[in-house]
Amino acid sequence: MTKRTLFIIIGLLLFLDLAAFFVYLVGHSNSDGKSPIEYALRDKTASAEVGELPEKVIPDEFDTIAMASDYISHDKAGVGVNAVSMTCEVKLKFIWPKNINGNDRLGNLNRELLNILDAGGNDNARDAAHYLLKHPEFVKPSSNFSRLPSSDHKPVINHTLQYYRVFPYISTNYLLEMMVLIEKHDGLDLTRDMRIVHYDRVRHSVVTFDQIFDTSRTTDILALINQNIEAEKLSGNHPNWHETEVMPTEFLLGKKSVMFYFSDGAIAPKGSGLHEISVKNENLEEFFTPFYNELRNNDTHFETYDFIIL
């Protein structure tokens, strides 16, 4: 075999290898046009096991949406000369997730947050914000209203408000905890509804109660919570608190403890607002799932975000 023939054979083999690689890339490209190599590098943490948690090297990104408006109803509450126009103030501020741990495909997280806001079926944060802003609730239900310039706004007896806040509160290598706080004043009473969404930053899914706590031990967890309630009551800090028979579903996973949240009237007289009971992780360890205990032991990063003010 001559050298010329050998070079030709080597050249053909190299050409066939490159051609096969190109065909593989074309045949396996993603819907967004990116090759599987680029996709794998971008989302390589998506299938990581708990023991393979990455260091938090990719900061999370958020969009800020802030809106406010005042409205006045053309209908009036009351009779005759005592009839008074109704006003409503609507304010919202969203610190909305844009890119979490290098991933901007956040369908699971977006859907969960939007469902809590109940924003007319909109599928993105900005449209949801516009919807909430344009649907004021008055003391007397009314669909006949106008926007009121803030400079002309004067609170009256039939003034109501609607405040919406969405923001990140706690982040670790593994979890992002988003808080949704909805406050409404109906002219007499102020009600607050707080919901917390736990999001898996590695697998990009919403984490549920039964992934954190052993649901067969809820009676024992509730007993611990009631012990803390009784301690607060006896200390004089919250003499009006009382025990509860209902396991709270809203909680924050803190670095050293879990904060359980109770709605208005759940452990205190109606009208006293939301309440928080903190239980140390060391007391809850036997009630955590093996999954979450392993997670806590591997997670090395913990940070809190500011509680946003409207």
Q: Name the average pLDDT for the chain.
A: 82
Whether the Cβ atoms of residue 259 and residue 277 lie closer than 8 Å to each other = yes
Q: Residue 264 — pLDDT band, cuts 50, 70, 90?
A: confident
Mean pLDDT of the 197-202 span: 94
At residue 21 the predicted structure's pLDDT band, cuts being 50, 70 and 90, is very low
CATH number where 269 lies: 3.90.640.20
Q: Answer yes or no: do 202 and 243 share one domain.
A: no
| pLDDT for residue 295 is more than 50 | yes
Q: Does residue 225 share a domain with residue 97? A: no
Q: Is the distance from CB of 196 to CB of 252 less than 8 angstroms?
A: yes
Give yes or no: residues 197 and 260 share one domain: no
Please check whether residue 113 is in contact with residue 166, taking contact to mean a CB–CB distance below 8 angstroms: yes
Tally of domains in the chain: 2
Q: Domain for residue 60, yes or no?
A: yes
Assigned domain for 84 exists: yes
List b or e across 94-124, with b for residues whose CB sees 16 or more CB atoms inside 10 angstroms: bbbbeebbbbeebeebbebbbebbebeeeee
Q: What confidence category does residue 186 fall into, taking pLDDT thresholds of 50, 70 and 90?
A: confident
Which pLDDT tens digit goes with each residue over 66-116? 999 999 988 888 788 788 888 899 999 999 999 999 999 999 999 999 999
Q: Give per-residue pLDDT as tens, 133-144.
A: 999 998 888 888
Which of the pair, 43 or 189, is modelled with greater confidence? 189
Domain hosting residue 170, numbered range: 42-207
Q: Is the pLDDT of residue 41 over 70?
A: no
**Stretch 195-201: mean pLDDT, rounded?**
96
Q: Has residue 121 been placed in a domain? A: yes
Segment holding 281, helix H or strand E: helix 281-284
What per-residue confidence (pLDDT) applies to 163? 97
Q: Say what the pLDDT of residue 190 is.
A: 85
99 and 48 within one domain: yes
* 257-262/84-99 β-pairing: unpaired
